[in-house]
């Protein structure tokens, strides 16, 4: 997959680009393969340990020099015009902080994935699901861009603090785009920029309890980082209720380890509450421009899915 991904980038029509690959201490020989096959074409950063996703991307940003950065999973292929169309769109509107193209299924390109990225009235739901096409080819605002293939402004990324290193997997793009939104910028879907995504190429291979822990741990961390304390009183009971349902469902399916991992996300957030509060303070001081009344104002209803 990494070969197909890099070849698609090299063949794209946008000429001024750098390709940086972060090797998270892989053991399958892929790092040596990249060094030999793409010498002079790809910058390879080898980490002595597995940094996982968010921290690895932050490492790559330290050597990236472009005005626009594309974060790309290795189970993707970009179309010939993907980069040029996203850059052109970002250049046309300085208030666009992040953008994603139309994500098509890697194997079945007729199937759309992640056409709309929105949240519910509690700002904690993940989107409208896979396989749904919204029909329109016009660019439109979404709440967050898909982490598998998203373009951001490099200067903005640094100013709002980059990715949260604690987001090992899941929700890192929601967290970043929430800050982009609060900084006064927009996240956009650009349907004529095409990228192909296999999906779950990595998460399907990690232990289910590991994946469940980080999914629920990050979901709660997002809520704690952005909602004002009054709204937390409304949202937290719903989150905890969903938590219990998820754990109970795993128990009924015979997956006790996954259920335990799901519940362990709560004490993790309690242990790291000081760090979360420091993030809240950082957001208040360095990020927020939209509202002085709350960290996340109840406005711009057109980007919400009210369930």
CATH number of the domain within which 54 lies? 3.90.550.10
For the ranges 130-134, 184-188, 200-204, the lowest mean pLDDT is seen at 130-134
pLDDT of residue 105: 83
Judge whether 253 lies within some domain: yes
50 and 188 together in one domain: yes
Residue identified by tokens 């769109």 is 89
Strands 96-105 and 186-197: parallel
pLDDT of residue 294: 38
The domain tally of the chain equals 2
pLDDT single digits (tens) 229-275: 888 888 888 888 888 898 999 999 999 999 999 999 999 999 999 99
pLDDT of residue 243: 85
Share of the chain above pLDDT 90, in %: 65
Judge whether 188 lies within some domain: yes
DSSP class of residue 255?
-
pLDDT of residue 41: 95
pLDDT single digits (tens) 187-199: 999 999 999 998 7
191 and 230 together in one domain: no
pLDDT of residue 69: 97
Q: How many CB atoms lie within 10 A of CB 252?
A: 9
27 and 109 together in one domain: yes
Which residue range is the domain that position 243 belongs to?
Answer: 208-303
At 271, is the secondary structure helix, strand, or coil? helix
For residue 67, what are its two tokens? 């005005």
Tell me: pLDDT of 134 over 50: no
Burial of 12 (C-beta count, 10 Å sphere; 0-12/13-18/19+): middle
Q: How confident is the model at residue 123 (pLDDT cuts 50, 70, 90)?
A: very low
For residue 248, what are its two tokens? 């109970």
Burial of 292 (C-beta count, 10 Å sphere; 0-12/13-18/19+): exposed
Judge whether 17 lies within some domain: yes
pLDDT of residue 47: 94
CB 162 within 8 A of CB 206: no
pLDDT of residue 136: 63
CA distance 30 to 122: 42
Average pLDDT over residues 62-87: 95
If you average pLDDT over every residue of the chain, what do you get? 85
Indicate the residue among 197, 222, 249 that finishes a domain: 197
Average pLDDT over residues 159-166: 95
Average pLDDT over residues 14-27: 94
185 and 218 together in one domain: no
156 and 266 together in one domain: no
Average pLDDT over residues 9-34: 94
Judge whether 132 lies within some domain: yes
CB 294 within 8 A of CB 228: yes
Judge whether 203 lies within some domain: no
């Amino acid at each position: 997959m990494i070969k197909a991904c890099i070849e698609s980038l090299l063949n794209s029509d946008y000429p001024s680009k750098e390709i940086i690959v972060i090797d998270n201490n892989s053991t399958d020989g892929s790092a040596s393969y990249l060094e030999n096959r793409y010498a002079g074409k790809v910058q390879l950063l080898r980490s002595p340990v597995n940094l996982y996703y968010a921290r690895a991307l932050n490492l790559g940003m330290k050597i990236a020099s472009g005005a626009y950065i594309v974060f790309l999973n290795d189970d993707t292929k970009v179309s010939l015009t993907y980069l040029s169309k996203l850059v052109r769109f970002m250049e046309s509107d300085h208030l666009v902080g992040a953008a994603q193209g139309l994500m098509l299924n890697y194997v079945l390109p007729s199937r759309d994935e992640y056409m709309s990225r929105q949240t519910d009235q509690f700002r904690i739901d993940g989107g409208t699901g896979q396989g749904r096409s919204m029909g329109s080819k016009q660019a439109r605002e979404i709440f967050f861009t898909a982490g598998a293939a998203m373009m951001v402004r490099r200067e903005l990324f640094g100013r709002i603090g980059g990715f949260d290193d604690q987001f090992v997997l899941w929700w890192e793009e929601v967290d970043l785009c929430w800050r982009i939104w609060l900084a006064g910028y927009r996240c956009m879907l650009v349907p004529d920029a095409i990228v192909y995504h296999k999906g779950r190429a990595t998460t399907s291979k990690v232990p289910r309890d590991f994946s469940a822990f980080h999914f629920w741990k990050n979901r709660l961390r997002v809520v704690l980082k952005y909602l004002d304390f009054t709204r937390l009183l409304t949202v937290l009971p719903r989150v905890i209720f969903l938590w219990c349902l998820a754990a109970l469902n795993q128990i009924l399916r015979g997956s006790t380890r996954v259920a335990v991992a799901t519940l362990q996300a709560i004490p993790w957030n309690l242990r790291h509450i000081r760090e979360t509060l420091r993030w809240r303070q950082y957001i208040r001081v360095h990020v927020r421009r939209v509202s002085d009344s709350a960290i996340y104002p109840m406005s711009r209803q057109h980007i919400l899915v009210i369930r």
